[in-house]
Every structure is written in structure tokens, then in C-alpha cells.
Amino acid sequence: MRFFQSLRDRLPFLPRTDRTGTPRAPGETTRGSSETGSRRSWDDVQRLRARWWVDPKHLQTVRDIRRMDEMDGRVKKIHSRSARTAAKGGVRLIATGQPRLEREWREFVTRTKINNPQKLQSDLRAILMEGNLAMQWVLDPTERVAAAIRMPSETIIPNVGDNGIFNDTAHAYDQIDVEQGRSIAQFALWQMTLGRLDPSNFDDWGSMGRPYLDATRTVWRKLDLTEEDLVIRRHMRAPMRMSHILEGATSEEVSAYRAGVEADQASGSVRDYYSNKKGAVNPVQGDAQLDQIADVVHLLDTFAAGTPMPKGLFGYIGDLSRDVLEDLKKDWYEELAAIQTVAASVYLEGFRLQLLLKGINPDGYDFNVGFEERLTDTPNQRADHALKVQALGASQETVFETAGLNAATEREALKRERAELDPYPEDVDEIDPATGQPIVARSGAGPRVSITPNNAPKGESATAITNH
């Protein structure tokens, strides 16, 4: 008992009790574990314990979803395909006519490997599986952002107070060794950016995000158990059995008869059965209701309702029509757009840090970070929308952005094409140095765009283009 009490005095994260087993009151002092032998209050001990203890609910949630991803191919396909689809096209800087920012952005994505599709898929997969994207920004000796390292969010604890605000921006996050219950690394607010998916309270920085499949864990366990029971039932009840009844036979006679019948069945031979006693051999049919799996279908539908992907993309078509599948795919794209927004906000903070390190005030520029392709609309719908915007007389920059293209990249490509075709164009009075577009062209207006309402599927308008 004395050794156990001494052990409690040395470990601050264990509950304190006196010799009678009564917990110590708040404010009561205990002998600390420091070399100076100073006394630590019970409130301090509780704060240290809270700092060195990750949220067990969030930790268990992440572990359950990782187990689901390892065991079930459907869950793995949800995470892999969603992350791969969301990362399609990569990340881009949304900034019009700001070559300095565009140059800094190209250097930033090259050093941090954000332009690598595998890096993007890994980050987006973390948002789906962990509900958070904890990104550590690593600087090189020249004080540039040299790497963006994704950290396991279930080991990260925000050092916030009761009001949800960071107590110290120089010590904003702790990384905890979950097995030993101790802090192994500390991060300032600028060193780590935490992107959260659907937190309970956005204004509380201690509120972590939720994995996308968090609410489906219970349904998945039921589905997995039911499918396993279904296989066991098929194995045990599907084959046809034979009931041998030997009336008046002794135990020795039944054993000898059974051994002979099973020996014939094992050898694969088929024979008739004979008996000199009153008896019968009756067939027992297998389970005739194995095709009735409505409970499995119900659990599968319930599980699919909590996933971003429609179950039709898994091959479970059933009576699903094409129009319904298209509507479900639109919902899936909208969910992916929300995940892209979380990842883009993290990359934006990293780029702002890079600009500050270079002595550039990011608030003095109008820019944003987004993904190259927003998947809510199809390519045809985006092109149709861009042509309609062009018909309204919008700028070429707006037309490119509406079509889902990088306006800066297209502007540079147009400059190169124009220089290669004719370095001294005669039909152009003046070239805008910012956009590279002709200000006055003697050859006349551009293509004529005509729009016919309600002349396309689902009530959309049709677009026709004619050249002069």
C-alpha cells in the first residue's frame, strides 16, 4: 500500500487519494516530481493530466475507421476513390494579374510537393478518415517553407482554455505519445495548421473534426456480423441431410451402421441402404430461404446512406435508374467540394506564411487557393456556363475561371501562341500587357454565341457558336 501511494505521488496523471481512499480536494497540494521538491497543487495536476491525455472518443473513432478501411473493400474504395477524385486537377492559386504571387506560388508548391497527386490524395484521405488535416510547416535554413508534413491528428491536442482560445500562441499544439501519456513535441500556432471537417463548434479550437464515416461505425459492425452469420448459415444448413432411423437397434449396431455409411460417403460411392430391423432413411432438405436477405440489404442501404458515394458506384445497382444515379453523383461531388474547401484552407495558410517570411504582406493582395476542378458541374455544364458568361460580355479572365481553367496559365499560353504565329500582328492596334489580349482588333468581333433555353436534357439551355 505504501509503495502504491508513493507511485501515485510520482505520476501526475494518476488520480490522487489519501490513505482512506478519499480523493483530494481542489487546491490541496501534493509532493511534486521535480528535482527541487516543490509542491504542486491538485488543480495543476489536473491541468497537466488534461494536457497529456488525448480525446479517447476521437482516438477510438479514428482507430475504428482505419480498421474498417483495412477489412472492408467498400470502405477502402470510399476513401480511395473519393480522395483520388477530389485531388483530380491539383491545387491552383486564384489570383488575377499578380505575377509576383504566381511566381511565389509555383516555388511554394514545388518545395512542399503539393503539386504531386499522391501528396494531395494522402492529405484528402486523412480528412476523410480522421476528420482533420494537421499540417506541420517545416522551414529550411533560409527561412522558407520547405515541406508540408501531415501529422496524425488523433495524437494532436490543441492547447486551448475554457473559452476555446489558445492560451499561448508559442505553444498552441502538443503531440502526445498515446501509449506513455506524455508530450513528445510542441508546436507554435504558425508551425501547424489544423483543418477540421464538420467540428461541433468552429469557434472552439479545441473541438476536433469528425471523420466522414463516423456515424456509420455501428451500422458497419452490424453489417459485417450479419454477412458473416449469413455465410455460416449457408455452410451449416444449405446441404441436404439424410436421417437414418434404426428402430430397436443397440448402440453398437448404430455405431457400426454409421461407420459404414460415412465410409461410403467419404469414398464418394453411392449405394442403397439395407437393414434387417424396422427403420427408415428420410431426406432432410436444406434451407430453402437462403435468398431472403432483406436484413442484409437494409443494413447495406443504411450504411450507404451515411457515405459520400452512392452505392450504385460499388456495383449495387438493383432497381436504381440512371437519372437517380446522376442526382446521387451530384450530391457526392458536393461532398467532395466541402472536403476540397478544408484542404484548400490549410494550403492557403501555408502560402500566407511563406509570403510573410519573404516580407510580403498577404493582406495587400487579393488571392485565394482552390482546386483546379470543382466537381459539382460536368465539363459540358462548365463550358456551357462559360459561353453564356462570355455572351454577356464578361472579361476573358472571368470566362476562363467559369470554365474551370487557370486564367494565368491560359493567358501565358495565349501569349506564346500569338508570338509563334505572328510576332508582328498587323490586325491588332494594341496588346494589353496585363492580359495579353488585343484591345482593338480590325478583324471584327469574336465568335457569336446563341443560347436556346430549355433545349437540352433536364431543362438546361443549349448553346450554339458561330464564327464570322
In the chain, where the domains are located: 2-51, 56-212, 217-323, 377-468
DSSP H helices in 238-378:
251-267, 294-305, 322-357
* Cα 110 to Cα 107, 230, 419, 449, distances in angstroms: 5, 51, 28, 39
CA distance 25 to 122: 47
User: What residues contact residue 23 under an 8 Å CB cut-off, 6+ apart?
Assistant: 15, 16, 17
- Across residues 332-356, what is the average pLDDT? 91
Q: H helices then E strands: how many in the chain?
A: 13, 16
Question: What per-residue confidence (pLDDT) applies to 35?
Answer: 40
CA distance 254 to 31: 78
Q: What is the mean pLDDT of the chain?
A: 75
Residue 370 in this model has a pLDDT that exceeds 50: yes
Identify the H or E element spanning 385.
helix 379-391
For the chain, give the number of residues: 468
User: What residues contact residue 57 under an 8 Å CB cut-off, 6+ apart?
Assistant: none
Phi, psi of 341 (to 5 degrees): -65, -40
DSSP class per residue in 304-342:
HHTSSS-GGGGT--TT--HHHHHHHHHHHHHHHHHHHHH
Q: How confident is the model at residue 395 (pLDDT cuts 50, 70, 90)?
A: confident
Question: What per-residue confidence (pLDDT) applies to 57?
Answer: 85
Chain-centroid distance, C-alpha 140 = 30
Q: How confident is the model at residue 11 (pLDDT cuts 50, 70, 90)?
A: very low
The one-letter amino acid at 382: R
User: What residues contact residue 420 under an 8 Å CB cut-off, 6+ apart?
Assistant: none
Residue with the larger pLDDT of the pair 173 and 376: 173
Question: What per-residue confidence (pLDDT) applies to 434?
Answer: 54
CB 355 within 8 A of CB 100: no
The percentage of residues in the chain with a pLDDT greater than 90, rounded to a whole number, is 20
C-alpha cell at 290: 437462403
CB 427 within 8 A of CB 442: yes
CA distance 134 to 123: 9
Residue 156 in this model has a pLDDT that exceeds 80: yes
Question: What per-residue confidence (pLDDT) applies to 56?
Answer: 82
User: What residues contact residue 296 under an 8 Å CB cut-off, 6+ apart?
Assistant: 223, 226, 227, 230
The CA-based angle 201-205-207, given to 5 degrees, is: 50
- Across residues 110-132, what is the average pLDDT? 92
The percentage of residues in the chain with a pLDDT greater than 70, rounded to a whole number, is 68
DSSP code of 372? Answer: S
Beta bridge mates, 152: none
Strand 428-431 with 132-139, pairing: unpaired
CA distance 217 to 434: 53
Strand 428-431 with 39-41, pairing: unpaired
Q: How confident is the model at residue 118 (pLDDT cuts 50, 70, 90)?
A: very high
Which of 402, 397, 410, 412 has its CA nearest to residue 463? 402
CA distance 388 to 38: 74
Question: What per-residue confidence (pLDDT) applies to 102?
Answer: 87
Question: What per-residue confidence (pLDDT) applies to 416?
Answer: 77
- Across residues 427-434, what is the average pLDDT? 52
Question: What per-residue confidence (pLDDT) applies to 16?
Answer: 43
How far separated are the first and last CA of the chain, in Å rounded? 97
- Across residues 177-183, what is the average pLDDT? 80
Beta bridge mates, 452: 462
Residue with the larger pLDDT of the pair 299 and 41: 299
Q: Give tens-digit pLDDT for 439-449.
A: 544 444 455 66
